[in-house]
Structure 1
């Protein structure tokens, strides 16, 4: 009788100790996962918005430049959720619903090509020439400062039949601004685009894809729809034209919104030696991947509907 009681007690103590150990391990695993920094961008299909290019850390050494794929996948697929989500969860509706669109919905193999941070008198005309050569319409999300600085280039975009969107006045992190500051950044840019180009933008893209509740509220007040992206080749980091082209070709699917850059963010870059920031890698990549997308049967639209 005594032996049985001792045996039962030891089993209960062992079971309690094991449970406590499992709980402790589980807590440690969750804590470690929460502490892991989010990825700011991805070269995999459906790459998501990364950190703002004006304030992001210096990119690590680029991996060897991959060879662009000859033909992108033609299999329609839903865009993956962004890895660096904005303050308000993403969706596919416009500003009226307080969400940004991460995809276009215009039929099979229809995608949208977008360019941020311009206009640039050096690279925007080069991009326009390639788009004209292939008969493609794109959307240019412009920084207000750059529109004021290079009005002739901004007008060239409109005259070529492309859509111009609002990308704030100075490319700040909107999460650091009060609602009044967000409104000033957006409202001033829309007015400048209207004055320079003769058209008022209807689309807005937050710097770095970091939309906030204040930005959604201001956009709703101003009649702007929020547009993000789901293909980010990280061309802003100049990883090489081959890498940029390969990432776009590998990630583009039906409904993709592809992010590129035809300009730069800050006065330091704009006034760098040579006059403006160099986006020649983006231009060279566009020259490589655009005809391949067209050959694969892709068509292009602008994300102008919610």
Structure 2
């Protein structure tokens, strides 16, 4: 984890192990068992230094992907329709028989690694969904705008990446709503997709996410890049999990993501050459 902007996440992880039992009895639905807090991930850190100043806004790229239809700011005279409350997150994407996949990146944006990922995606004309943390957006608004300008979808990954089932409803709403607010202020449109940290949902999380106008979106392929297993291991995970409708989980922040960048440069052109198409999720198709 990063030492200055993501230290609140580590502090949350320290509390999370004790909260897991309570989360289970609350009906928590988790699709990311490998990332549940514990072990070496929950190490104590020193008190954080004051956060860094916001980076200078990046100049919009001349290259633009075709944005997802309807992703722009909704008409102010018509409120965004609230989705039905789900009891399980969307795990894969039914592409109607097309050989397509969805690429997703969590925990960013991070000026150390997100620009490299954006360059790889731009080189291959591939869109992705970036599930951002509000506290990261706060320090990287220019980079967040660049992600949206280049045709990528901005999703909600909470403000500080806590284990949501361990929190009360008011705290859960604050974590999610604050992130939706800063995303809308930064890119001009609210997030339409939400991903719970650690893949841990419960009834309150589903209800609050829907009330804020978002669909819960999970994954089918976990690269486990958060554990820095090596470029080859990350690449192998995507190769073995690739199939029509697959949703790939990677990370562009939260630690050293150089392995993620190197692996992306390997497996992405391989999948494209193998006939796969990378697409964005479409709310109208649900």
TM-score over 0.5 for the pair: yes
1:222 is aligned to 212
The worse-fitting range, judged by mean Cα deviation, of 232-241 and 296-305 is 296-305
What aligned pairs does 1:1-306 form with structure 2 within 5 A after superposition? 49-52=32-35, 55-58=37-40, 96-106=85-95, 107-264=97-254, 277-305=255-283, 306=286
Deviations 1:20-45 (A, max 9, x none): xxxxxxxxxxxxxxxxxxxxxxxxxx
Deviations 1:113-140 (A, max 9, x none): 0000000001000000000000101000
Shift of 1:278: 2.0
Gaps spanning 5+ residues in structure 1: where? 1-47, 60-93, 265-276
Shift of 1:52: 3.9
Q: Which structure is larger by alpha-carbon Rg, 1 or 2?
A: 1
On the 8 A contact 1:49/1:230 being kept in 2, the answer is: no
On the 8 A contact 2:228/2:256 being kept in 1, the answer is: no
* Number of aligned residues: 212
On the 8 A contact 2:100/2:245 being kept in 1, the answer is: yes
56 and 198 in structure 1: CA distance in 2 versus 1, 3 angstrom threshold: farther
Shift of 1:212: 1.1
Shift of 1:153: 1.1
On the 8 A contact 2:103/2:248 being kept in 1, the answer is: yes
Q: Find the aligned partners of 1:263 and 1:132 in 2 and give their Cα distance.
A: 19
Q: CA RMSD of the aligned region, Å?
A: 1.5
Three-state SS of the structure 2 residue aligned to 1:283 is helix
The worse-fitting range, judged by mean Cα deviation, of 94-103 and 183-192 is 94-103
Shift of 1:99: 2.5
Q: Find the aligned partners of 1:282 and 1:50 in 2 and give their Cα distance.
A: 20
